[in-house]
Structure 1
Amino acid sequence: MINTYDVIIIGGGINGCSTALELAQRGVRVALVEKDNIGDGPTGRSSAIIRQHYSNELTARMAHYSLGVFQDFEERVGGECGFRRTGFVAIAAAKDQAGLAANVAMQRGVGIRTELLSPEALREVMPGIASDDLVAAAWEEDSGYADPYLTVNAYAAAAKRAGARLLTNTAVTAIHQSGGRVTGVATAAGDLAAPVVVNCAGPWGARVARLAGVEIPISACRVQVSFFKRPAGEEAIHPVVVDFIHATYFRSETGGLTLVGLVDPAEANAIVDPDRYAEGVDTDFILDSGERLIRRYPAMERSASAGGYAALYDVTPDWHAIIDEAPAGSGFYHCCGASGHGFKLGPAVGRLVAERVLGVADPLFDSRLFRLGRFADDEPVRGRYEYSIAG
C-alpha cells in the first residue's frame, strides 16, 4: 500500500524542517524524507550566525522575521535553539561607505535596530578591534548566533508534534510524474504519493532536481571553519563580526573559542561531491584565516589554534536561493541554493515556501526575487557590496 500525503519534502535541514512545520500547522499532510539523520547535513555544521544586514529589502525583512523567531524560539517553535545575543558588526571598506549607509537606512525602514558606528564608537562596542582602516561600520545590538544542531532538531520535533511524518535514513531514488505533474517519490523504504514535492536537498538539490529532468544551477561547495582559543584577557564573548575588507567573519564559540570563516567569492570554486569531500580543515586555511583574524582582532596573535572542520554550501551563480515551482504547474518546488544564508533565514523561508505551495493570495514574503528564471533573464540578485553572500 502506498502512503499518500499532500506534500512530500526532500531534505531535513532547517529549510525542510521549517517548511514541514509551517505546512503541518496549517493542517497539511506532510512527509519529510531525509537520507541521513536530522542535523547530519550542512545545517548541523552551520556557523549559525543570526544577522539582519542585507542589501535587499526582502532578505532584510526575512532576516528580521527570523531573528524574532530565534529570540522567542521556545514559544514559537518549541525546544531550544541556543540563541546568544552578542551583537553584530558589519565592516566595509571606504569604497563601500555609501552602500553601507544605504543598507542601514533601508534596514531601519523595515524595523531593524541598526546604526552606523564611527571607528571610535566601534572600539567602544568591541575594545580589541582594529579600526584604523575603516570609515564606518554597521551595528545590530539584537543579533548573535545560535546552536544549529539544537535548532534543526527542535524544528523537526515541532513538525512531528504538528502531525508531519519524518522518515530519516531514507534516500529518495526517483520522482514519479504523470501528465507533466509530480505524483510522488520512490524511496528505499517504498513509494510515497503526493501532488506536491518540495526539493529542500541543499547541496544535493541539483541532483534531486535531475530525478525529475530539471536542471537548476546549484553547486556543492566545500567551505571551511577554523577555531582559535582566545588568550588571557580576551576570554569574554565578543560580537559577531563580518569583515568585508579582509573577507572574513568571526564569532565567539563556547569554551573560550573564536570561530572564523570566509566571505570570499572564491569559495564557489571549491566544487565537490557532497557525498565524498574532505571534512577536516586544511592547515593552509587555519594559517590564512588566522592571519586575517589578527589583522582585525590583534590580540588573537596570542591565540592557539583549536582545529576546525569543513562543511558544504549549496551555491547559485548569485549566491541566493532558488525558491520556485519548476516546471511551472508541475507541483515540483525547489527551495535550495541558500549559499550560506540558509540558517539565518530558515524560519522565514519555511513560511515563504509553505505559503507559496498553498497559493496564499497575500503572502508575507514575495518569492519572485528567488525565481529560477532570473538566471536566464540575466536578472540576478544583486547587493551593494562585492560579496554577494552579504545579500
Structure 2
Amino acid sequence: MKTCDVLIVGAGIIGLSIAWQLRRRSHLRIVVCDRGPGVGAGSTGASSAICRYRYSADNMVQLARDGIGVYQQWNAYLGQTDTRAIFQRDGVLWMPGEDAGWAEREHTRLSALGVRTRMLSDRDLQTMFPALNPCPLCPDLATAEAHDCKAGNRHLLETDGGWMDPVSAAQDTADALRRAGVGLHYNTEVTSIRSQGGRVTGVTLGDDENIDTDLVINAAGPWCNAVYRAADVEAPMQMDPVRIQVVHLDRPKSLAGKLPVTVDMAAGMYFRTQNRGQQLLVSSVREEDERETVDNPDDFLTVADDRFRAEKVHLLQHRLRGFSVDGNVRDYCGLYTVNQVDVHPVVGPWALDGFWVANGFSGHGFKLAPAIGALVARALVGSCGDFDCAMDPAYLSPDREPIRADSRSVLA
C-alpha cells in the first residue's frame, strides 16, 4: 500500500460501488480504506435498503432506475453466481392520503420516465393486499381517538420496486473487489490528505503510513466531514450525520396475504417485510424525524425512543387489518448523512485537483449506489456499455444550485 491510482475513503455501499464500477472498466490500482471494523459497520448496515423509483425530480427518478436495475441483475453485474443478496421484488405501494389526484399525476410522470406503475382503487388494493386498510386518514397520535375510516382513494404501485439486504449486497461487492485484486482495508483511518500546488499527492493513515496517489474519493458517509478536514477544505454544502430510528417486530400470523413495501404518506411512515416475510420493519418519512444531528458518528444513541416505538405500533394497527403485537417490539438506530441545503447528494470533483466527493445522500444512498458508482467511473475513465448511468453528472455537482424538491425528508 505505498502507491495507488485511486484511494477511496469509505467502504460502505457507495465507496464499494465506486470501486467496482472503476474496476469493471479499468486496470487502475484501487485501494479502499475504512475506519470501521468490517462490512456494513456504518450507515449501510442500518439501511432499510428500499428500492423505490419515485422522486420529486425526474433526474433522480432516472438515477434510481439505473441503480435498481443493477440490483435486479446482481449476479451479472458482479460476474459471479454465488452472491448472498437477492432482490426482493415486492413492489412499492404509495398511499398518498387525501390527495385524490396524486396517484394519477405520478403514474403519468413515472410512466413517461420508463418506470412501470399501476394505479389501484381501494377494491384493487383489497384484492392484491387484503391486509391493507385503504383509509386515507391518519390516526390521532395525540389522543389515540378512533375515527371512521374513509374509502374511495387511489393508490400507486411501483411494480418493479422492492428491497435488498444491504449487508449482503455490500459483502457481495467486497468479495468481487477482492477477487479482482482491489485492496480493502478496515480499521484504517485516513488522517491527512496531502496536496501540493492545489493537487492531491497522497494520504497519511492513522499509523503514519503514507500512500502516494493523485486521486482521493471521499465516500465516508457520516464521517465525511473528518475527510474534508483531513484535506483542509470546506465541504461544498453542510453535511450532518442524523440519527434515524427503525422498529422491527414479528409479523402476526393473523396478518393475511402478501405485503408490498408501503409508503403511508398520511401516517408519515414506511414499512416492509423481512426475514422471509416473518418480520415487519417500520420507520418514518417525516421531516421532523430527520432533525436529530449527531456530533460524533462514533457515539450516538442506537436504540429508539419509547414514543417513536409506540407511535409506529399505533399506526400499524390502523393500516394493517389483523395486526397485533406478537412478541417483543425491537429497534435500532442508524445514521443518514443529510445535505442540509437540498437533501440531495453531492458527487464530483471539489476544491483540489484529484479530490472527489460522494456525500450527503440523505437516506437515498443504497438504491442509488450502483448508479453513483457508474456516474463517477464514467467521468473518470469513460463508459463501459452496460450497467452505466445516463444522467448528466453536473446535476449533482458540488458547486450546483440547490435542487428543488417536494419534501425535505427522505421522500425528496
CA distance in 1, matches of 2:55, 2:187: 36
Matched, 1:372 2:402: no
Judge conservation of contact 2:131–2:259 (CA < 8 Å) in 1: no
- Structure 1 segment 132-281 matched on structure 2, within 5 A: 132-133=135-136, 135-189=153-207, 190-216=209-235, 217-234=238-255, 236-254=257-275, 256-272=278-294, 273-281=296-304
| Cα RMSD for the two superposed structures | 2.1
Q: Which residue is 1:113 aligned to?
A: 116
Within 1, Cα distance between the matches of 2:312 and 2:44? Answer: 22
Is contact 2:95-2:136 (8 Å) kept? Answer: no
Structural mapping, 1:290-301, within 5 Å: 290-301=313-324
Residue 369 of structure 2 is aligned to residue 346 of structure 1 = yes
| Alignment deviations for residues 330-350 of structure 1 (CA, whole Å, 9 cap, x no partner) | 211110111111011111111
Q: What is residue 350 of structure 2 aligned with on the other side? A: 326
Corresponding position of 1:30? 30
Distance, in Å, in 2 between the alignment partners of 1:334 and 1:187 is 19
Equivalent AA in structure 1 for residue 46 of structure 2: R
**2:14 paired with 1:15:** yes
Shift of 1:271: 0.7
Cα distance per residue 1:140-183 (max 9 Å; x no partner): 22221111111001111112222321111111111111111111
The 3-state SS of whatever aligns with 2:281 is: strand
Give me the whole-angstrom Cα distance separating, in 1, the residues matched to 2:125 and 2:18.
38
Secondary structure at the aligned position of 2:48 is classed as coil
Q: Is the 8 A contact 1:322 1:336 kept in 2?
A: yes
**Equivalent residue pairs, number:** 383
Which of 84, 87, 91 aligns to 1:83? It is: 87
Distance of 1:61 and 1:178 partners within structure 2: 38
Once residues 293 and 28 of structure 1 are traced to their aligned partners in structure 2, the CA distance between those partners, rounded to angstroms, is: 50
1:300 match: secondary structure? coil
Going by fraction, where is helix more abundant, 1 or 2?
1
Which deviates further from its counterpart, 358-367 or 167-176?
Answer: 358-367
Which residue, 374, 379, 402 being the options, matches 1:356?
379
2:312 alignment partner in structure 1: 289
Deviation at 1:319, TM superposition (A): 1.8
**Paired letter, 1:147:** D
2:65 aligned counterpart, secondary structure: helix
More moved, 112-121 vs 360-369: 360-369
Structure 2 residue ranges without an equivalent (≥5): 138-152
In structure 2, distance between residues paired with 1:17 and 1:111? 27
Taking a change above 3 Å as real, the CA distance of residues 357 and 99 of structure 1, as seen in their structure-2 partners, is farther
2: distance between equivalents of 1:301 and 1:210?
49
Question: Which residue does the alignment assign to 2:146?
Answer: none
Aligned-pair CA distance for 1:118: 2.0
1:205-257: per-residue Cα shift (whole Å, max 9, x none)?
A: 12211222222211001101101222222265511001111110100011611
CA distance in structure 2 between the partners assigned to 1:344 and 1:284 by the alignment? 29
Q: State how far apart, in whole Å, the 2-side matches of 1:114 and 1:257 are.
A: 26
Residues 264-303 of structure 1: per-residue CA shift (max 9 Å, x gap): 1123321112010111222222111112222222422454
Change (3 A) 1:285 1:169: same
3-state SS of 2:358 partner: strand
Decide whether the 8 Å contact of 2:254 with 2:323 is kept in 1: no
- TM-score, length basis structure 1: 0.92
Cα distance in 1 for partners of 2:190, 2:247 equals 33
Percent identical: 33
Shift of 1:31: 0.6
Whether the 8 Å contact between 2:87 and 2:164 is mirrored in structure 1 is yes
Compared with structure 1, are the counterparts of its residues 387 and 249 closer, same or farther at alpha carbon in structure 2 (3 Å cutoff)?
Answer: farther
Distance in 1 between residues matched to 2:85 and 2:306, nearest whole Å: 31
What TM-score, normalized by structure 2, do the two folds share? 0.87
State the alpha-carbon separation in 1 of the partners of residues 325 and 303 from structure 2. 24
Offset of residue 321 of structure 1: 0.8
Contact 1:320 1:389 in 2 (8 A): no
Tell me which moved more, 361-370 or 250-259.
361-370
* Aligned residue identity for 1:366: D
Q: Deviations over 1:2-23 (max 9, x none)?
A: 7211111000000100100111
